Amino acid sequence: MNRTQALFVGAGIADDSPLFAEFNQALPAAPRAMRTLTAEELGAMIQAATTLPAGHPAYEFTLDEALEDAALGGQEGISRLRRRRARRSVTLDDLRRARVLAELNGERGEQFVNEYMEGQLATGMISAFTWVSVDDAVAPFDFDVTESSGPVRVDVKATDGGFERRIHISYGELLCMADVSTRYDLYRVYDMEDEQASMRVCQNLQPFAQAALATLMALPAGVSIDGISVDPRTLEFGEAVIPLTLTVEED
């Protein structure tokens, strides 16, 4: 059952004033104006309210996004969770459930892209594709695609939240992205709900990967990393493909 939460923010309450200022800027000028915010927009406003007290209840509204990021090892998500109210700490079960959900979202995202690829194949937009990760779970990409211009490696990053949620890229994926022999594209699947989702594509991540690896190579000897997290808004994604669909077979 879905849970409904409400939070009232007052201009005259000292603890609320940083967030009230952000809301006030975002609202239309008309009296009694209202506006619907996505979870990501609300999270960005809370982040922008830099003097908001650490225990403010507004942080409860970014819990899902923060848990997803923390479950994938993201420091930003962990920092957000630590700013939550002390009376409701994050349990090991919370993180386990978030990790399982992130894995399920990843699998679902690949299913959406698989059906998308089948459509591309049927219309002649591509000449062949292989769902690589089905047989090789540790492969540094998910699909091997043949376009008229040549082979393309495709990695899928999926979330049931908004496009803006951080993307986690492993070190192995970075190395594969930086390979000059084959183009590497990133498919961002987001807003997954039932049998529909949206998707945006970032083509040719080689320059990004090479720049990231050049920085990481400067680490002291004996120090290595497992991966990085990236704000997708810093990458050059194309327009949204809406909607992706997923066929559900009847029992």
Domains by residue range for the chain, with CATH: 17-90 (no CATH), 103-245 (3.40.1350.10)
In the chain, pLDDT over 70 holds for what percent of residues? 87
Amino acid at 18: P
pLDDT value of residue 83:
65
Phi, psi of 202 (to 5 degrees): -110, 115
pLDDT bucket at 29, cuts 50 / 70 / 90: low
- Is the C-alpha dihedral spanning 140, 151, 215, 238 positive or negative? negative
The SS3 of residue 57 is: helix
**pLDDT tens string 41-54:** 777 788 788 788 76
**pLDDT digits 0-9 by tens, 170-226:** 999 999 999 999 999 999 999 998 899 999 999 999 999 999 999 998 889 888 888
**If we measure between CA atoms, which residue out of 175, 179, 178, 161 comes closest to residue 232?**
161
In this model, does residue 249 exceed pLDDT 60?
A: yes
Distance CA 105, CA 38 (A): 19
Average pLDDT over residues 20-38: 76
Most confident of 14-28, 75-89, 144-158: 144-158
The mean pLDDT of 121-125, rounded to a whole number, is: 96
Confidence of residue 1 (pLDDT cuts 50, 70, 90): very low
Q: What is the pLDDT of residue 215?
A: 92
pTM (2 d.p.): 0.74
Segment 60-79, tens digit of pLDDT: 666 677 778 877 777 777 77
* Rounded CA separation 19/24 (Å): 9
The whole-number pLDDT of residue 209 equals: 97
pLDDT at 158: 96
